[in-house]
Structure 1
Amino acid sequence: MNEATPSFVTTLIAQRGNVAACRARIDEAVARAEALEPTLHAFTWRPDSYVEPDACAPLAGLPVGVKDLIDTADMPTSYGSPIWRGHRPQADAPVVAQLRELGALVFGKTVTTEFAWRQPGPTVNPWREGHTPGGSSSGSAAAVGAGILPLALGTQTVGSVIRPAAYCGAVGYKPSYDTISREGVHALAASLDHIGFFAREVEVAALAHALFVAKRSDAIDSVETWRKWFAPLASPPRLGVVRTPFDERLQDEQKANFEASLAHLRAAGAIVTEIAFDADLAQIVDALQVILRVEAGRAVGPEARDHRDLLSAHMRALIDEGAQIPQARYEAALSLQAQLRERSHALLADCDALVSVPATGAAPAGLDDTGDPTFCAPWSLLGVPAVTVPSGWTEGGLPLGFQIVGAFGEDLGTLRVAAWIERVIGARRELVHAASTEVTA
């Protein structure tokens, strides 16, 4: 984006109080949803009409998708399960209530896999309808990737924000663990669950960070305060490249794209260093799987007890595997998690951020599986901030992503690095179509 061109965020701030502009944002989202939803299937529910927003509110008229794992009092919340079909929560989750207080419009509920685990919903990839959008935040990723929404809420336990964002050509942002209240969000594994965001660009993710993580609504008092709060980096960043024991799973196009992205960043002045990550990544992923299985049994216990026949085979297997894990092994996994989180600054090896691939490659063909989350798993266990930005395209026209990881609590700095990388790589495309899923460059 040209520096002289107003960004989406600065335009949003500058148009505060402009009723026509607020209405136009909503009308544009409605028009795209109506054109694309017959094929895309990103939403479980949308209202027939929308209340006119308070044009003077900070997020006046900003249409936002809310993952169907997150409670909304005025919209059904089924957690991706037939057990809860038609369920109406008594209250909004705090994150939704805050959205409304800021003037944002809850545009609709977006598809989730069953209780944020592997059983897919009907959503397709916005770039190729025969490919998965990823999961578990399938609908939020697809709605942003398709250009319906500039922002959507998701959740991540293993890789459910970063991976689908990469698959759908969106920006994904997973904040540091426990920086946003998870009250009113159906748990999968309480020690791993994060609320996260899908955004049109990194600056929109930074807007979400300012309001929901940093709790700094004053950052958007004016265009000037915003530019000061989310100022560009003064100099190119120092980046540490993370290689993993799982790299043999990478598709050739993802490998080539990652190396090309690193070359672009070096050419732009970044100091890019191959680091020896000072922790066992295979052990980290194993610890995450232990915690996930034990805690999923607790989170979905009531449903498993009363409605086991309505759970998917994926969920039944997850719960049954968790029941076989010894308590000592679970406690050891939690201990490792705490130790690594405490050491997260040291693990960055004097870099401003770590960089890695967000997935094995582009979105796999077929809708029965949501893809491999392994390349997100270490950062979910540590609870550190992670961002993915679009970094290129396969020959078949599917998006690829580039993941940026920071130290625990260093979310704003990580987003600033991600914004710099986004500008250098410049790989974002607009999805231009009506009801088809043909890509137009």
Structure 2
Amino acid sequence: MKLDNQPWATTLIASRGDAQACASRLAQARARADERDPQLKAFTFRPDHYDGVDHAASKPLAGMPIAVKDLIATADMPTTYGSPVYAGHLPAEDAAIVARIREFGGIVFGKTVTTEFAWRQPGPTVNPWNPLHTPGGSSSGSAAAVGAGIVPLAVGTQTLGSVIRPAAYCGVVGYKPTHGRVPTTGAHPLSQSLDHIGFFANRVDDVALAHALFVDGNPDALASVDAWQAAFTPRRPISVGIIRTSLWSRADDEQKANFEASIERLHAAGVQPFEFELHVDLPVIVDALHTILQVEAHRNIGPVAATHPDKVSDRMKALVEAGAAVPAAKYDEARTLQKELSAQSAAFVGGCDVLVSPPATGGAPRGLDDTGDATFCVPWSFLGMPAVTIPSGRTANGLPLGLQLIGARDADRSVLEFAAWAQAVLPAFG
């Protein structure tokens, strides 16, 4: 595959220093937001003016509008963490990821809706493909803003499935890097042992751009088209491990059928699929993950819930109360298991180039009171392994479905290269 099909990396390289092209990108994003966001409700804040933007800057992201989840601090825009407790809150400084976006010349286009403290209390955002359905959570606004074509790149967070699941629901690409590869400094913690910064775009090639800059810290990869082709080339995996897990029954019939069809397409394109079992049963991982989540959420949000009980949802109160009741020994055991299994992430891949699983149990559920089931994202968040979801089809009522690709820790670039190849093989969505 030639990377001249890749719109943002090559467009940014070609237009670097072109003030008119950079200004045009921002104007297009603003016009699209004005058109779509009154119904979509993806943004909590968009500035009237973008002060200090140098459209002629010779920087990797010059003129690129990027949406940032409202869980992540911005010194010049309100950051509420999805909670009325922090209404109008203006942080003292940018989060680490925001500082990097600005350093590379990107424009923080606006703040996107998050569930309350990245937990299950939904915000007002609707699915860009059907407003009667959830966009997923907790990074609902970021996924919807990309799905609606407002911005080419958005930043979110994932603790359980909050990048991968909403990306699948909104018909876009979601990328969750290896845990810890992108600093979470300045993002309100829900559970530090599980929290990840992640990215949304319409193409794998574009989240690969984010990987080069924010994970590898390699702006030279965008110095020229030749440099970018050397840094990132889609490639076909040879062997793919098919992960269904003992909770396969949670996937609905449409998701199962789409998953099987995706595997058949990959096989027909030269990939060898293997049925693969986790060597630790998923319910064991799920229980340990929830133990860690409950305890760390109690530590991080318990004081706010105690001080402002009238401004904290029942869902959050239940989470922090559960965390208060967890014995210290059980938490320590869960963390020990997490560390031990994370160190064995290569064994989980079992010699395959990449693993594949559904990213969600099906298409986006109807209604806005629930953000969906994160079951098929949980193992990879617990183990800190990189994951990418790509669009792979539609439900009978036109909602997106996806395919999730997973690799060993720190194999992010390989997973992205395999995912970029797979996105070209699977049916285009849009």
- In 2, are the aligned partners of 1:157 and 1:192 still within 8 Å (CA)? yes
Q: CA distance change for structure 1 residues 289 and 6 in 2, over 3 Å: closer, same or farther?
A: closer
- Cα deviation per residue 1:64-108 (whole Å; 9 max; x = unaligned)? 000000000000000000000000001001110110011100000
Separation in 1, partners of 2:5, 2:130:
30
Other-structure match for 1:336: 337
SS at 1:354 equivalent: strand
Question: How far apart are 1:309 and its partner, in Å?
Answer: 2.0
Separation in 2, partners of 1:3, 1:80:
38
Other-structure match for 2:369: 368
- In 1, are the aligned partners of 2:240 and 2:356 still within 8 Å (CA)? yes
Question: Does structure 1 residue 398 correspond to structure 2 residue 399?
Answer: yes
Other-structure match for 1:285: 286
Moved more, 47-56 or 295-304: 47-56
Other-structure match for 1:311: 312
Instruction: Spell out the pairing of 1:10-21 with structure 2 (5 A cutoff).
Output: 10-21=10-21
Structural RMSD (CA): 1.2
Question: How far apart are 1:370 and its partner, in Å?
Answer: 0.3
Question: How far apart are 1:23 and its partner, in Å?
Answer: 1.1
Separation in 2, partners of 1:3, 1:207:
12
- Cα deviation per residue 1:383-420 (whole Å; 9 max; x = unaligned)? 01000000000111100010000000111011111111
Q: What amino acid is aligned across from residue 9 of structure 2 in structure 1?
A: V
TM-score by length of 2: 0.98
Q: CA distance change for structure 1 residues 320 and 6 in 2, over 3 Å: closer, same or farther?
A: closer
Separation in 2, partners of 1:277, 1:315:
31
Instruction: Spell out the pairing of 1:15-414 with structure 2 (5 A cutoff).
Output: 15-51=15-51, 52-55=53-56, 56-233=58-235, 235-414=236-415
- Cα deviation per residue 1:94-147 (whole Å; 9 max; x = unaligned)? 110110011100000000000000000000000000000000000000000111
Other-structure match for 1:432: none
SS at 1:315 equivalent: helix
TM-score by length of 1: 0.95
Separation in 1, partners of 2:54, 2:150:
18
- In 2, are the aligned partners of 1:236 and 1:268 still within 8 Å (CA)? no
SS at 2:308 equivalent: helix
- In 1, are the aligned partners of 2:204 and 2:419 still within 8 Å (CA)? yes
Aligned identity (percent) is: 58
SS at 2:37 equivalent: helix
Question: How far apart are 1:12 and its partner, in Å?
Answer: 1.5
Separation in 2, partners of 1:324, 1:236:
45
SS at 1:90 equivalent: coil
Q: What amino acid is aligned across from residue 221 of structure 1 in structure 2?
A: A
- In 1, are the aligned partners of 2:18 and 2:55 still within 8 Å (CA)? no
**Between Structure 1 and Structure 2, how many residues are aligned?**
428
- In 1, are the aligned partners of 2:189 and 2:195 still within 8 Å (CA)? yes
Q: What amino acid is aligned across from residue 211 of structure 2 in structure 1?
A: H
- In 1, are the aligned partners of 2:245 and 2:281 still within 8 Å (CA)? no
SS at 1:129 equivalent: coil
Q: What amino acid is aligned across from residue 68 of structure 2 in structure 1?
A: V
SS at 2:356 equivalent: strand
Question: How far apart are 1:276 and its partner, in Å?
Answer: 2.3
- Cα deviation per residue 1:276-305 (whole Å; 9 max; x = unaligned)? 222211101111011000100001022122
Question: How far apart are 1:4 and its partner, in Å?
Answer: 5.5
Question: Does structure 1 residue 428 correspond to structure 2 residue 413?
Answer: no
- Cα deviation per residue 1:141-187 (whole Å; 9 max; x = unaligned)? 00001111111010000000000000000100000001111111100
Other-structure match for 1:436: none
Q: What amino acid is aligned across from residue 360 of structure 2 in structure 1?
A: A
Separation in 2, partners of 1:254, 1:6:
28
- In 1, are the aligned partners of 2:259 and 2:358 still within 8 Å (CA)? yes
Q: What amino acid is aligned across from residue 42 of structure 1 in structure 2?
A: A
- In 1, are the aligned partners of 2:153 and 2:199 still within 8 Å (CA)? yes
Question: How far apart are 1:214 and its partner, in Å?
Answer: 0.4
Q: CA distance change for structure 1 residues 6 and 193 in 2, over 3 Å: closer, same or farther?
A: closer
- In 1, are the aligned partners of 2:237 and 2:354 still within 8 Å (CA)? no
Separation in 2, partners of 1:242, 1:383:
17
* 4+ residue runs over 4 A deviation: 1-4
